[in-house]
Protein backbone atom coordinates (compact mmCIF):
# COMPACT_ATOMS: atom_id res chain seq x y z
CA UNK A 1 0.00 0.00 0.00
CA UNK A 2 1.17 3.51 -0.74
CA UNK A 3 2.37 5.98 1.84
CA UNK A 4 0.50 9.21 2.48
CA UNK A 5 3.32 11.18 0.83
CA UNK A 6 3.05 9.05 -2.33
CA UNK A 7 -0.72 9.52 -2.47
CA UNK A 8 -0.48 13.29 -1.98
CA UNK A 9 2.16 13.58 -4.69
CA UNK A 10 0.06 11.54 -7.12
CA UNK A 11 -3.02 13.71 -6.34
CA UNK A 12 -1.00 16.86 -7.09
CA UNK A 13 0.23 15.34 -10.37
CA UNK A 14 -3.29 14.28 -11.37
CA UNK A 15 -4.68 17.73 -10.60
CA UNK A 16 -1.93 19.41 -12.62
CA UNK A 17 -2.60 17.22 -15.64
CA UNK A 18 -6.37 17.73 -15.39
CA UNK A 19 -5.99 21.51 -15.06
CA UNK A 20 -4.29 21.50 -18.46
CA UNK A 21 -7.63 20.53 -20.02
CA UNK A 22 -9.55 23.79 -20.62
CA UNK A 23 -12.86 21.89 -20.66
CA UNK A 24 -12.44 20.69 -17.06
CA UNK A 25 -13.90 22.51 -14.08
CA UNK A 26 -13.36 21.77 -10.41
CA UNK A 27 -15.63 18.72 -10.35
CA UNK A 28 -13.92 17.10 -13.32
CA UNK A 29 -10.47 17.84 -11.94
CA UNK A 30 -11.27 16.26 -8.58
CA UNK A 31 -12.98 13.28 -10.23
CA UNK A 32 -9.84 12.72 -12.32
CA UNK A 33 -7.63 12.83 -9.21
CA UNK A 34 -9.86 10.31 -7.41
CA UNK A 35 -9.86 7.98 -10.41
CA UNK A 36 -6.05 8.15 -10.64
CA UNK A 37 -5.59 7.35 -6.93
CA UNK A 38 -7.99 4.45 -7.02
CA UNK A 39 -6.32 3.08 -10.17
CA UNK A 40 -2.69 3.43 -9.03
CA UNK A 41 -3.02 2.57 -5.36
CA UNK A 42 -6.31 0.69 -5.02
CA UNK A 43 -7.29 2.68 -1.93
CA UNK A 44 -10.64 4.19 -1.08
CA UNK A 45 -10.73 7.77 -2.29
CA UNK A 46 -13.53 10.33 -2.75
CA UNK A 47 -14.03 14.06 -3.11
CA UNK A 48 -16.62 16.53 -1.84
CA UNK A 49 -17.43 20.12 -2.75
CA UNK A 50 -17.05 22.10 0.47
CA UNK A 51 -18.40 25.48 -0.57
CA UNK A 52 -17.07 28.51 -2.28
CA UNK A 53 -17.53 32.14 -3.21
CA UNK A 54 -19.07 33.65 -6.30
CA UNK A 55 -19.06 37.26 -7.40
CA UNK A 56 -19.06 39.21 -10.61
CA UNK A 57 -15.89 38.27 -12.48
CA UNK A 58 -14.47 35.83 -9.93
CA UNK A 59 -15.46 32.61 -8.24
CA UNK A 60 -13.75 30.00 -6.14
CA UNK A 61 -14.89 26.48 -5.30
CA UNK A 62 -13.34 24.50 -2.48
CA UNK A 63 -13.02 20.71 -2.48
CA UNK A 64 -11.72 18.06 -0.12
CA UNK A 65 -10.24 14.85 -1.49
CA UNK A 66 -10.22 12.11 1.15
CA UNK A 67 -8.23 8.89 0.98
CA UNK A 68 -7.23 6.01 3.24
CA UNK A 69 -3.57 5.90 4.26
CA UNK A 70 -1.34 2.86 4.67
CA UNK A 71 -2.14 2.87 8.39
CA UNK A 72 -5.88 2.89 7.82
CA UNK A 73 -6.31 6.57 8.64
CA UNK A 74 -8.14 9.16 6.59
CA UNK A 75 -6.00 11.69 4.77
CA UNK A 76 -7.38 14.94 3.35
CA UNK A 77 -6.10 16.95 0.38
CA UNK A 78 -7.71 20.35 -0.15
CA UNK A 79 -8.14 21.91 -3.58
CA UNK A 80 -9.44 25.31 -4.66
CA UNK A 81 -10.66 25.92 -8.19
CA UNK A 82 -10.65 29.58 -9.23
CA UNK A 83 -12.34 31.02 -12.30
CA UNK A 84 -12.45 34.57 -13.63
Angstrom CA distances, 83 to 13, 34, 47, 48, 62, stand at 20, 21, 19, 18, 12
The CA-to-CA distance between both ends of the chain, in Å, stands at 39
User: Which tens digit of pLDDT belongs to each residue from 25-70?
Assistant: 999 999 999 999 999 999 999 999 999 998 888 999 999 999 998 8
Q: Is the pLDDT of residue 2 over 90?
A: no
pLDDT tier for residue 71 given thresholds of 50, 70 and 90: confident
pLDDT score at 12: 98
Amino acid sequence: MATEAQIRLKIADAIASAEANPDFGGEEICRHAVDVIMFYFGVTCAYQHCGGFDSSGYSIDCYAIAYVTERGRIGIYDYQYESY
